[in-house]
């Protein structure tokens, strides 16, 4: 997994590590950026030296099998370039890319250059990208979910899981758009409220499913159930959004 450090422990690499561990996999965390952040918002961020990330990825791949990759906040466009080079050399590793752009509090986690580089270079390597409603509108250039998702497919994405957590209604509907089939709808109970780090947790859980050998569809279903349970036990960490409790062991 490649994502940023959120020192509140709600989102980013900590969310990834906890979710992947709870789902029975071993996470190998590569840190893309450091943020100044609490449960309310992001106030500052700085990217890791891309050369260190390159060395970390090469070092890990030379030593261990990597069964899936999950990306979150990436810091800057140069980090995307390093990542794309690595993915091109390892085309068989499924990539689940969470296209993180903004924190829930509105703070920026990606500048224009990073957003453009993800669209132009990264997404085509991803088996699934997992935008929330705001990210989908921004990336797909359309307020309509279906049109925005198709714009991304046309731009080279293999599949787009449009997450519905920010919407309304009794159930959350996450929709998987792909090239060769009709959209697949995944329904899950809506608890209500907003939780810090939900998107990270969902994408990391999908990657854990893929790393365990589940299909993309089964990985999404398992991830949704895991996130629902973590939200049910959410922790009041600070004055902002509660944090999903990812520490509860997952029994399959
Ligand atoms: N990655 C980092 C480092 C973050 O700080 C955040 C949000 O604050 C995210 C990812 C995205 O969080 P969420 O899972 O709430 O979309």
SS (H, E, C) the chain: CEEEECCCCCCHHHHHHHHHHHCCCCCCCEEEEEEEECCCCEEEEEECCHHHHHHHHHHHHHHCCCCCEEECCCCCHHHHHHHHHHHHHCCCCCEEECCCCECCCCCECCCHHHHHHHHHHHHHHCCEECCCHHHHHHHHCCCCHHHHHHHHHHCCCCEEEECCCCCCCCEEEEEEEECCCCCEEEEEECCCCCCCCHHHHHHHHHHHHHHCCCCHHHHHHHHHHHHHHHHHCCECCCCCCCECCCCCCCCC
Ligand 1 neighbourhood includes 109 CB (under 6 angstroms): yes
Q: How far apart are CA 252 and CA 249, in angstroms?
A: 10
Ligand 1 neighbourhood includes 3 CB (under 6 angstroms): yes
> Of all atoms in ligand 1, which is nearest to the CA of residue 132?
16
User: What mean pLDDT, rounded, does the chain reach?
Assistant: 96
Pocket test for ligand 1, best of 130, 199, 206, 240 (most atoms within 8 A of CB): 199
pLDDT at 252 exceeding the cut of 60: no
Q: What percent of the chain has pLDDT over 90?
A: 93
Average pLDDT estimate for 1-30: 97
pLDDT at 29 exceeding the cut of 80: yes
CATH architecture of 2-232: 3-Layer(aba) Sandwich (3.40)
Q: How many angstroms does the Cα of residue 205 sit away from the middle of ligand 1?
A: 15
> Of all atoms in ligand 1, which is nearest to the CA of residue 15?
14
Q: How many angstroms does the Cα of residue 100 sit away from the middle of ligand 1?
A: 7
Q: What percent of the chain has pLDDT over 70?
A: 98
Q: How far apart are CA 222 and CA 232, in angstroms?
A: 16
Average pLDDT estimate for 152-175: 93
Q: How many angstroms does the Cα of residue 185 sit away from the middle of ligand 1?
A: 24
Q: How far apart are CA 252 and CA 243, in angstroms?
A: 23
Question: Do the beta carbons of residue 215 and residue 30 sit within 8 Å?
Answer: no
Average pLDDT estimate for 232-240: 95
Ligand 1 neighbourhood includes 12 CB (under 6 angstroms): yes
- Strand-strand pairing, 69-71 and 95-97: parallel
Kindly give the interhelix angle for 50-63 and 77-89, rounded to the nearest 10 degrees: 20
């Amino acid at each position: 997994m490649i994502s940023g450090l959120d020192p509140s422990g709600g989102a980013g690499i900590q969310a990834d590590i906890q979710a992947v561990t709870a789902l029975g996999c071993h996470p190998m965390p590569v840190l893309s950026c450091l943020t100044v952040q609490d449960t309310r918002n992001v106030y500052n961020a700085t990217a890791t030296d891309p050369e260190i990330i390159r060395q970390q990825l090469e070092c890990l791949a030379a030593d261990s099998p990597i069964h899936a990759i999950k990306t979150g906040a990436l810091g800057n466009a140069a980090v995307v370039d390093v990542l794309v080079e690595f993915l091109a050399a390892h085309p068989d590793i499924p990539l689940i890319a969470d296209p993180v752009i903004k924190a829930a509090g509105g703070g920026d986690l990606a500048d224009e250059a990073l957003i453009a580089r993800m669209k132009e270079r990264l997404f085509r390597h991803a088996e699934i990208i997992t935008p929330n409603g705001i990210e989908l509108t921004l990336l797909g250039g359309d307020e309509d979910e279906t049109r925005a998702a198709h714009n991304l497919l046309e731009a080279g994405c293999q599949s787009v899981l449009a997450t519905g957590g920010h919407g309304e209604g009794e159930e959350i509907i996450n929709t998987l758009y792909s090239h060769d089939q009709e959209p697949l709808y995944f329904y899950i109970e809506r608890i209500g409220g907003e939780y810090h780090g939900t998107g990270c947790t969902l994408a990391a859980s999908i990657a854990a499913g893929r790393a365990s050998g589940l299909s993309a569809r089964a990985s999404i279903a398992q991830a949704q159930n895991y996130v629902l349970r973590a939200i049910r036990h959410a922790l009041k960490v600070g004055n902002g959004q509660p944090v999903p409790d990812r520490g509860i062991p997952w029994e399959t």
